[in-house]
Structure formats: C-alpha cells, structure tokens
Amino acid sequence: MKVLGIETSCDECAAAVVEDGRKILSSRVATQIDLHREYNGVVPEIASRIHTEWIRPVVGEALAEAGLRKEDIDAVAVTNRPGLIGSLLVGVNFAKSFAYALGIPCVGVDHLRAHVYAAHLEQDIDYPYIGLLVSGGNTVLCEVRGFDDLTVRGTTIDDAVGEAFDKVAKFYDLGYPGGVAVDKLSREGDPDAFVFPMPRLYKGDHPYDVSYSGLKNAVINQRHQFLRPDAADTKANIAASFQKRAVDILLKKLFKLCDDTGIKRVVAGGGVAANSYLRQELAGRKDLTVIFPSLKLCGDNAAMVAGIGWHYLKRGDADGLRLSASPRVGGFRKSYP
C-alpha cells in the first residue's frame, strides 16, 4: 500500500510517499527557516499562510520523486496533532480533500508518535523500548510496546529541551535555528567552564520528569554565578556548558528509567535527537542498545507520518472527512508508578 504522508504541524511543509510502512519512495521537506529567521522563532501566522502556498507544489514534488501519479496513491496520512493549529489545519484540509477527490482513506497521525516511529523506517526494531522524544515543543520519556502503545513515564514540567536550546541561542544571538547553532558552537567551547545547576525535582509520583526553565534562566540571567573561576566567559563556553547540562538532565532520567524497567533498548526521535553531544554520550553506553534515526528523519518530515499511518490503515482506522486538528498533546496513556 502506497501512503502519501503530509506534515505541516510547525514550520516544515513536508510530503512523502512510503510503501507498506517502511519503504520511502520519496520525501520532500520544504523548510520555512529563512522566513522566520528575522524573528528568531516561528511566527504561527506566517507559517500557516506559507503552508497554504507550498502544500500543493510540495505534494506534487513528492509524487514526482516517487515516479507516481496521484491515482497511484492508496491512502493519505496526515499529522493532525499536536502543533500550531493554523499550520495543522492546512495539512489536514489538504489531506482530506486529496483523499475525498480520489475516493481513498485518510487517517490522522499524532506527531509525537510519528517521531518515535521514524527510526522504524530504517531498521527493524523489536518492542519494548524506551522512547526518547526530544523536540522544540515536547520532551517525553515513554515505554513503547507497539507502534500505537506508548505509556508516558516522564515529561517536562515546563519548557521542552529544544525550546531551551532555541531561547539560549536567541538571547546570545548564536544563530537560528538555535539547537543547530548551539551544537556547532559547542565544539569550540569548554563544557565545564560553567557548572550550571541540575534541577532537583520532587521525586514522589513522577520520578522521570525533567525541567528546563531553571537551566534556561540560569544560563540567560545568572551565568556569572556558575562560571568556574579559572574559565573564560565566552559564547562558545556558554554554549558548550549549557548543552552539556541540558543533555545530562535528559540522560539522568533516561538511565534511571532503563534501570527501573529493565528495558535496555532506547529509540530516539525529534529535532534534538540530532544533537551531537547527546549522540556521543548515548553511544558510550555499552549496556544499552541505542537507535537514532538518520539526521534527515530526526526533524519534522512526512515519511514518518506515512510510515506510522500505514499501521493504522492496515488495522482499518480511517478518519475520513470527520478528521479535525488539535494543538494539544493527547491520547497517551499516562501511567506513572
């Protein structure tokens, strides 16, 4: 079954064709980065307006790259939550119209589940595993027992990890998008120049939750308090020290979750999964099997949407014209120990 995937939840306008949940026949990602650069962040109104202009040509490119006509497509899968509501609506309405015109099924896909699925496009992965979903809008540690069977074990209580990267980069004018700029500059810096604080969360009911607002505040407003006396107060040192702490916050909870559950397989996804320090630290853990998607599948893309969409379609879950969009995270089983 050839599924057309559509992804417009934020500032990437993406379309892909994936066969049987695995074989990527095409994947096009048109990024709006240049249009949002002057604002140092995504402007929702601009994002949705640009999606309305780009969605048709991007889908056309995905079909052409796959060497297919629209009549060759068997079904459509589209991200319908969570994300920027205006942006999501463009993709959802395009997907519904496309499917209706061709008389084929259309299914809505959760963006976060799609990110966790991304690595499955490149290799066979056995369940269960711990999903590490790290992006600009979300930070989730979950137990994954099937493509649709996720139990959230930890999440951020405030900012997402990617958001912290973006805000630190914006404040210090390091470049846009922030995560990529911090990662690059960190290579020139000393990760121990600043000893930024590790959050101490109440461990009671939610032992795997993380927090980033304190770190963000420390790096932006109080960095001098954390500078080692013999170290230099440079942007590269700020970037490297921030990156180290931001990733260590994640890893501390991830390793605890692996120990507590006995699950030794970890699958990462989302834009921050491209981070080189995160990749390097996880590669060093010989007791864990860590699977990262390739860089092109870490950030937002439509191949992951078409891929996981196939599993829903195969089990008969089509939404058709009643599909709507939602900005909210939802539908996960939250079962905290």
Q: Answer yes or no whether residue 91 interacts with ligand KG4 by CB under 6 A.
A: no
Q: Answer yes or no whether residue 300 interacts with ligand KG4 by CB under 6 A.
A: yes
Q: How many residues form the binding site for ligand KG4 (CB under 6 A)?
A: 19
**Residue 247: CB minimum distance to ligand KG4, A:** 9
CB of 154 or CB of 178, closer to ligand KG4: 178
Cα Rg for the chain, rounded, in angstroms? Answer: 20
Q: Answer yes or no whether residue 137 interacts with ligand KG4 by CB under 6 A.
A: yes
**Subset of residues 161 to 190 that bind ligand KG4, contact rule: CB under 6 A:** 162, 165-166, 177-180, 183
Q: Answer yes or no whether residue 299 interacts with ligand KG4 by CB under 6 A.
A: yes
CB of 18 or CB of 272, closer to ligand KG4: 272
Label each residue of 82-135 as H, E or C.
Answer: CCCHHHHHHHHHHHHHHHHHHCCCEEEEEHHHHHHHHHHHCCCCCCCEEEEEEC
**Residue 85: CB minimum distance to ligand KG4, A:** 14
Dist CA 235 CA 172 (whole Å):
7
Helix, strand, coil percent content, the chain, rounded in steps of 5: 45, 20, 35
CA pseudo-torsion sign 273, 274, 278, 281:
positive
Q: Answer yes or no whether residue 131 interacts with ligand KG4 by CB under 6 A.
A: no
Q: Answer yes or no whether residue 10 interacts with ligand KG4 by CB under 6 A.
A: yes
Q: Answer yes or no whether residue 309 interacts with ligand KG4 by CB under 6 A.
A: no
Q: Answer yes or no whether residue 82 interacts with ligand KG4 by CB under 6 A.
A: no
CB of 21 or CB of 179, closer to ligand KG4: 179
Choose among 4, 3, 1, 6: nearest CA to 325.
Answer: 6
Q: Count other Cβ atoms within 10 Å, centred on residue 170.
A: 17
Q: Answer yes or no whether residue 240 interacts with ligand KG4 by CB under 6 A.
A: no
CB of 105 or CB of 131, closer to ligand KG4: 131
3-state secondary structure at position 271: helix
Answer for which of 105, 189, 270, 307 binds ligand KG4 (CB under 6 A) is: 270
**Residue 275: CB minimum distance to ligand KG4, A:** 3
Q: Which residues pair with 17 in a beta bridge?
A: 4, 26
For 80, left (φ over 0), alpha (ψ -120 to 50), or beta? alpha
**Residue 314: CB minimum distance to ligand KG4, A:** 25
Mark the segment that binds ligand KG4 (CB under 6 A) among 133-141, 204-212, 315-323, 328-336. 133-141
Choose among 174, 161, 165, 113: nearest CA to 135.
Answer: 161
Residues 6+ apart with CB under 8 A from 30: 12, 13, 14, 54, 58
Binding site for ligand KG4 (CB under 6 A): 10, 135-137, 162, 165-166, 177-180, 183, 270-272, 274-275, 299-300
